[in-house]
Structure 1
Amino acid sequence: MSNDVIVVFGGSGFVGRYVVRALAKAGKRVRVAMRRPHLGQDLRVMGDVGQIQLVQANVRNADSVARALEGATGVINLVGILYESGKQTFAATQLEGAQIVAAQAAKAGITRFVHMSALGADPASASKYGRTKGEAEKAVLDLVPQATILRPSIIFGAEDNFFNQFAAMARVTPALPLIGGGQTRFQPVYVGDVAEAVVAGLDCGGGVFELGGPRVYSFKDLLSFILKEIERPRLFAPLPFFVAQPLGAVMNTLFKLYPFAGPPLTDDQVIMLKTDNIVSGNANTLKELGVTKLESIESIVPTYLYRFKPYGQFQVKRRT
């Protein structure tokens, strides 16, 4: 175990857990900064005794961030949200939070900084999610010019919010929504490959990297793949953007009034779906970060979608 102390903000989330495990495997000392450290005790078992430390911090509170960074040699910011809820707004969490973490890292003289952004991040985006992601990138680079910015496409893995969500929807509905005709293209990337990229990003010298998996799929392709894997034939219900966007706005409003679960669709997500979510031709990619053996959805997703089959894991596969 080295004396390399890496502070991870957002380490208790879907991607964060894989990043904490990858850092521990690399021999780093990991300090996970959380709003509620008592809820992250399971993270400790991802490393040796004493290798993973949990501390209280909120990215919107500069003093708590500064305390979390004491003695650190590197910082990873993974904090992000898919929809707004209460004080957890895109501006407060993705922009202001990133600014505070970067400012405190700069004040502490820390230059090894990895910031998780997203494909589609653009300060001029019509989407609040994409706009705040883009503004956060600029804020981080202004404060820590040596920072590494990672922009992944859809991230998949056992706890993901894409394949699981649509598989769950197919379990209770006769049709799946084909938003915008299902032509939007994605390049899903495995969460384990993203975690490797995050670790490599600490010492790559900085830059912007776009992270995508080995294949590009249309939205319709991905829904068809899900239905085939869970063996639940369903219809596709074409949903034009001009219908999906107000529908998403209604769902988002209902969620804010009755926040028992995340909204299945928001108007902001519909805006993002109007643009392809794939790696650009001239971008730095996973390859430049040394991550070359990429996992595909075909090899990983079936290992966790089986629970959505009508008879579970041991259902006999139907002949086609």
Structure 2
Amino acid sequence: MPLILFAFVVRVRDGLPLSASTDFEHNRELQERKQQLKTISKTLARLPERGTVKGQELSIYFQSSEDVSYMAVCHCSLPVAKAFCFLEDLRWEFTACFNNSVVSSAARPYPFLEFDRTIQKLKQQYNQIGGPTLEVTLAEVLEDLTIRPPQVINLDDLDLTNGAANGHLDQGSTPGLNQRLQPVTASGILSLVLNIVCASLNVIRGVHLIENTFQDDYEAIWNVGAFLLAFVCCVFQCHLYLFHSSLKKVKSCVLLSSIVLCNLFLLGLRNAWQLIFHISVASLSTVLIVTRKLQDRCDDCGV
């Protein structure tokens, strides 16, 4: 087994993955360590510049500098000094290729995947030769580690939620990342079309009533409000179905209840079939909103 199995480069302030090495190892512990790397990357801003996570056969090492952290999964037989020497070489290579402004402006995960070629060369150098070619580099790193030893990180001590301490981040705990819903189904498209029809009917009837209200009956203003409220609820149902939102079940139930109450209030202006149609469409939309789950996405993005 190679001494250095996986390398990972992330942005410290938000844990955005910048680059990583491709690997074809199917070691179970390696996969666990890779998940733990992503867990640690979310809390790098409050961790020391250097740290290690000890494992049974594989250990994690990381070193942060200038809002970028360089992380690696290494075999326990690799000396700590050589592991951090690898991270130091990785830092030099990365900073030579990408400046701070490019790193700061990165908006999507893994924008520098081409850096994998450099990572592979470094890994090959360390795995075949056993360390850096310059002994002075290793000596300098060893001296620096003696003065500032890396902190041993215990994942159980990290204040993470939803099982993240075991290397499994809940998607709901990282807003803005991986919040992609499952693909829209045929029934979903049907509900959207029907919701748009209902919304259009509500706003047309509401606008028409507004004209009559100002001319004849001011008491009909409540009917106008019911039509317009039903219109707004239909629009929000479409939004809830298309986009992820917190408290989705509560919001969808509130919208359904509002639509039902509005239509019951308009009982004199709509016949039974119209009421059944509007309430059925709202109910269908609610079921689809609640049952449409977040899509499982691989954080590796193919890496």
Q: What TM bracket, shorter-length normalisation? A: under 0.3
More strand by share: 1
Larger proportion of helix: 2
TM-score by length of 2: 0.25
Give the number of the structure whose alpha-carbon radius of gyration is greater: 2
Task: Return the TM-score normalized by structure 1.
Answer: 0.24
